[in-house]
């Protein structure tokens, strides 16, 4: 009973602290000229950037109490606008803030925050590098190259004409709409990529990956997370230790490898020879191609192999078509049909 009381009291105290109103401790509104690129160190403040007729910076910082040290440094050096949000070195309790920037096209951008959100949109003609430790990163409607890095919070990227690189340590990565090369990595957060045209590389350690509507060369890698690819076309390669690979309604060239995970495909259309390799996982495919257009060279150390009603253990050759499916498994069964 005493533990419950102590917990309730602690939650009450924390709620009371969080409910404290923050007071404005700094505010500024400045316009800059002669700017070729912008570098922002936002710390705890949310940084929002979009296209404007000129380069402007509006800042407002709040804290639990008035205290010296809350300010922003903005200076142009050799065409680089450097913006630095600053806070007291000690004795602060809680704070928040926002930095709203308008900038022109063709100006490179770098933004770094600790916990502040980063929101960048409607820009073109440059490279946009965005990094946060725990603040959400959102960018959309960009004609340029985007590099986004995070440790724990969401990375959300959409409608990009250019290259995309998104790396997250534990948070998820969501990408929707890229015309260009895409590289997405999250070590323990999920990765979702939709509507990408160009080379795509996706990698996780132990989280799932979902890719759909991809047109290009695709490479997917995981240790134990499941992989899903659908409604896509291109050259498809995968490496998986124990995660399962599921493909649906996909056309192209396939080179798929798994150790303990299974490789399963439905409504698959081959445009060239295919290679499937597993150790313990099963291999199971249904093809759009006609049976007479394919031939199968399959072997398994311990399991049965079935191809269009022809069943054998350990080794199976079937068909005389030009499209050759070469498949190898150790203990996993294999099955192929229409």
Phi, psi at residue 10, to the nearest 5°? Answer: -65, -45
For the chain, the structural domain boundaries read 17-113, 244-338
pLDDT at 21: 85
pLDDT-above-70 percentage for the chain? 94
Of the pLDDT bands very low, low, confident and very high (cuts 50, 70, 90), residue 170 is very high
pLDDT at 213: 98
Strand ranges in 180-331 using DSSP code E only, listed in sequence order: 182-186, 191-197, 200-204, 209-215, 218-222, 227-240, 245-258, 263-270, 274-277, 283-287, 294-307, 310-318, 323-329
Kindly report whether the global pTM for this prediction surpasses the value 0.85. Answer: yes
In the predicted model, what is the mean pLDDT of residues 201-230? Answer: 95
Q: How far, in Å, CA of 144 to CA of 140, rounded?
A: 11
pLDDT at 90: 92
Q: How far, in Å, CA of 259 to CA of 273, rounded?
A: 21
Here the tokens at position 161 are: 């004409």
Of the pLDDT bands very low, low, confident and very high (cuts 50, 70, 90), residue 6 is low
Structure confidence by residue, pLDDT tens digits, 271-298: 999 999 999 999 999 999 999 999 999 9
Of the pLDDT bands very low, low, confident and very high (cuts 50, 70, 90), residue 38 is very high
Query: Is pLDDT at 1 greater than 70 in this prediction?
Result: no
12 sits in the region (left: phi over 0; alpha: psi -120 to 50; else beta) called alpha
Here the tokens at position 121 are: 């949109």
Q: Is 71 helix (H, G, I), strand (E, B) or coil?
A: strand
Q: Is 85 helix (H, G, I), strand (E, B) or coil?
A: strand
Cβ atoms within 10 Å, residue 272: 11
Query: Is pLDDT at 17 greater than 90 in this prediction?
Result: no
Q: Is 284 helix (H, G, I), strand (E, B) or coil?
A: strand
Q: How far is CA 144 from the centre of its chain?
A: 17
Name which of 14-18, 63-67, 83-87, 171-175 the model is least confident about: 14-18
Structure confidence by residue, pLDDT tens digits, 91-105: 899 999 999 999 999
């Amino acid at each position: 009973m005493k533990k419950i009381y102590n917990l309730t009291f602690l939650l009450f105290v924390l709620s009371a602290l969080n409910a404290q109103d923050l007071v404005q401790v700094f505010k500024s509104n400045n316009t800059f000229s002669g700017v070729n690129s912008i570098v922002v160190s936002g710390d705890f403040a949310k940084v929002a950037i979009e296209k404007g007729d000129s380069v402007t910076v509006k800042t407002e910082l709040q804290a639990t109490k008035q205290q010296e040290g809350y300010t922003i440094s903005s200076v142009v050096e050799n065409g680089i606008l450097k913006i630095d949000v600053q806070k007291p070195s000690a004795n602060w309790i809680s704070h928040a803030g926002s930095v709203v920037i308008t900038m022109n096209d063709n100006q490179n951008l770098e933004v770094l925050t600790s916990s502040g959100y980063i929101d960048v949109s409607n820009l073109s003609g440059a490279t946009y590098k965005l990094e946060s430790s725990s603040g959400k990163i959102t960018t959309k409607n960009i004609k340029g190259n985007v590099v986004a890095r995070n440790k724990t919070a969401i990375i959300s990227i959409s409608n990009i004409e250019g290259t995309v690189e998104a790396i997250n340590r534990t948070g998820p990565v969501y990408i929707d709409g890229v015309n260009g090369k895409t590289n997405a990595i999250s070590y323990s957060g999920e990765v979702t990529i939709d509507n990408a045209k160009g080379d795509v590389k996706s990698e996780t350690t132990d989280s799932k990956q979902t890719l759909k509507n991809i047109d290009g060369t695709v490479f997917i890698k995981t240790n134990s997370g499941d992989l899903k690819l659908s409604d896509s076309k291109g050259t498809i390669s995968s490496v998986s230790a124990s995660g399962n690979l599921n493909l649906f309604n996909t056309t192209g060239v396939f080179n798929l490898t798994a150790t303990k995970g299974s490789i399963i495909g439905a409504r698959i259309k081959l445009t060239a020879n295919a290679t499937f390799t597993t150790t313990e996982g099963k291999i199971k495919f249904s093809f759009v191609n006609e049976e007479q257009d394919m031939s199968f060279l399959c072997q398994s150390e311990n399991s049965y192999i079935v191809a269009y009603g022809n069943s054998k253990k350990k080794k199976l050759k079937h068909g005389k078509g030009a499209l050759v499916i070469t498949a190898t498994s150790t203990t996993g069964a294999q099955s192929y049909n229409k």
